[in-house]
Each structure stands twice: as C-alpha cells, then as structure tokens.
Amino acid sequence: MLTPAFAATASGRHGAPRPLGQAMLRGLRCRCPSCGEGRLFGRYLKPVASCSACGEDFTAQSADDFPPYIVILLLGHIIVPMGISIDTHFRPPLWMYAVFGTMLIVALVLLMLQPVKGGVIAYQWAHRMHGFADAAPPPA
C-alpha cells in the first residue's frame, strides 16, 4: 500500500486536496475556482492570465475542444426529445424548425459554452492538471 506522501509524489500531484464540487460550481459561474471572487474570463471565451483577487495563474489551462464537445452532447439530449415532442403534438411546418430551431440552438450554445469552459478549467485546477500543480513538492 502506498503512503499518502509517496502517492502524491508518484502521481505528480502535491499539496492539500482541492475541493472539486466547490471549484466546479465556481467555474460554472465563470469565477476563479480557487477563491470564487475574480472573473475567470476577460472576453467571451478567453480566460484571464491570472485571478485579479487571489493571483491564481490560468495560463496553463488547456480546455481545448472539450467544452464544445460537452455542449454538443448536452444540447443533443435536450433538442432531439424537444423536437420529437413538438412534432408529435403540433406538427409545425419544416420552415419553422429551420428558423426557430436554429435560433434556439445558437442561443443555447452561446449561453452554455462559457460556463461549461469555466467548469472544465475548474476541473483541471481541482485535479492539478495541465500546469495547475504546485511548483515544488512538499518536504519529506
């Protein structure tokens, strides 16, 4: 069995555990996962270099294509049953799907993408992934 100190060294993760749930909620609110005070984004999807309140460095984050994948997955599970239900009960013409469906999907994507990216960055921070690990290992 690994001792806690050895396990932390073996996994490359050091320091006190970071609360995942609290960090994820803060990230979904587009706030710093460390303190919850500073803004996580300077522009729509551009994370700030560091937190204005606590100084946490976000230059190492690497959310990449994962947030859009999550948004696509979630929206598919929302839009498809909604479309089937609307078609079953109301039978609207196809042009209504094209116009209103497109507007709804674009609006939902724009509303969901930033909070989901904040959640992914918070997940990385809580698990010390992609450069969020402490700089030096704890003393033995």
> What's the pTM?
0.83
Q: Does residue 7 belong to any structural domain of this protein?
A: no
Q: Does residue 11 belong to any structural domain of this protein?
A: no
Query: How high is the pLDDT of residue 14?
Result: 64
Q: Does residue 119 belong to any structural domain of this protein?
A: yes
Can you name the residues that pair with 16 across neighbouring β-strands? Answer: none
Q: 3-state secondary structure string, 75-87?
A: HHHHHHHHHHHHH
Q: Does residue 97 belong to any structural domain of this protein?
A: yes
Residue carrying structure tokens 């919850």: 36
Query: How high is the pLDDT of residue 13?
Result: 56
Query: How high is the pLDDT of residue 60?
Result: 86
Secondary structure letter of residue 97 according to DSSP: I
Q: Does residue 137 belong to any structural domain of this protein?
A: no
Tell me the C-alpha to C-alpha distance, in Å, between residue 115 and each of 30, 33, 57, 75, 134.
6, 12, 19, 14, 25
Residue stretches of the chain with pLDDT short of 50: 1-12, 136-139
Q: Does residue 3 belong to any structural domain of this protein?
A: no
Range of the domain at 75: 19-126
Q: Are 68 and 108 in contact (CB under 8 A)?
A: no
34-72 pLDDT, tens digit per residue, is 999 999 999 999 999 999 999 999 998 999 999 999 999
Phi, psi of 131 (to 5 degrees): 90, 0
Q: Are 54 and 34 in contact (CB under 8 A)?
A: yes
Number of domains into which the chain is organized: 1
